[in-house]
């Protein structure tokens, strides 16, 4: 998978070298590149924003640098372009799974009050475009959102994680939150591990874990059960 990220703070993405993604890059599984949007400006101030038509607070990202960035980065047949925005559809595990099968994803990380909407419309002529939000809160820019999405997507690429079963069992894989986990010692500060986990009865353990998943989801995320 090829991933590009366009941002006015490309250094945000330096942390990806620290994670499993660094290893996956060395293995040739993933090729990641961060790009500075200002590379595609032509004035001495490297201007990327301007005041909004119609008035209002804040600044809007100008279309021209984004257009030139896409001219350079969209050289293949219809990659996926993700605009990170709190006004987008919510990111979730199902979308991460779908995106993990793509050959090329370009993250367009907006700052300020967002990007001129014509950039989104124009990108649709050459790419499959999604406007995606990390959740119902506002970040200063899309970089941290893109980092989270990149981690959620790439760990689902076959061969990326050592233990494929842990992906099948984890939270959200089946629409439920994961059951609680325990390890040694059996008694810690007078707190005991649930008996059933020591029983060796695999069917009973599976039943208990499923019930715990449902109970936890009901208590914390009833919206997931409704789905």
Q: Which residues contact ligand 6GU by CB under 6 A? A: 84-86, 133-135, 137-139, 141-142, 145
Angstrom distance (rounded) from CA 13 to CA 25: 14
* Cα–Cα distance list, 149 to 16, 50, 113, 156 (Å): 12, 28, 21, 11
Q: How many helices (H) and strands (E) does the chain have?
A: 8, 9
Half-sphere exposure of 152 (CA within 13 A, CB side): 20
* Residue number, 139 or 157, with CB nearest to ligand 6GU: 139
Phi, psi values for residue 107, rounded to 5°: -95, 125
* Residue number, 61 or 127, with CB nearest to ligand 6GU: 61
Least separation in angstroms between residue 141's CB and ligand 6GU is: 5
* Residue number, 123 or 176, with CB nearest to ligand 6GU: 123
Least separation in angstroms between residue 132's CB and ligand 6GU is: 6
Angstrom distance (rounded) from CA 127 to CA 125: 6
* Residue number, 135 or 194, with CB nearest to ligand 6GU: 135
Least separation in angstroms between residue 140's CB and ligand 6GU is: 6
Least separation in angstroms between residue 40's CB and ligand 6GU is: 21
């Amino acid at each position: 998978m090829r991933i590009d990220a366009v941002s006015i703070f490309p250094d945000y993405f330096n942390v990806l070298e620290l994670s499993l993604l660094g290893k996956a890059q060395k293995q040739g599984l993933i090729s990641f590149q961060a790009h500075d949007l200002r590379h595609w400006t032509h004035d001495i101030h490297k201007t990327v924003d301007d005041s909004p038509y119609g008035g209002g607070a804040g600044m809007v990202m100008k279309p021209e640098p984004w257009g030139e960035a896409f001219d350079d980065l969209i050289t293949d047949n219809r990659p996926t372009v993700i605009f990170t925005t709190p006004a987008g559809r919510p990111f979730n595990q199902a979308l991460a799974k779908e995106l993990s099968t793509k050959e090329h994803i370009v993250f367009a990380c907006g700052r300020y009050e967002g990007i001129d909407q014509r950039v989104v419309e124009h990108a649709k002529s050459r790419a499959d475009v999604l406007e995606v939000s990390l959740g119902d809160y506002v970040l200063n820019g899309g970089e941290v959102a893109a980092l989270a999405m990149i981690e959620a997507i790439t760990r689902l690429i076959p061969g990326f994680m050592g233990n494929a079963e842990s992906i099948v069992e984890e939270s959200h894989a089946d629409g439920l939150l994961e059951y609680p986990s325990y390890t040694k010692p059996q008694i810690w500060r007078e707190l005991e591990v649930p008996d059933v986990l020591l029983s060796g009865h695999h069917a009973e353990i599976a039943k208990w874990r499923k019930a715990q998943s449902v109970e936890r989801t009901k208590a914390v995320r009833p919206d997931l059960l409704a789905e």
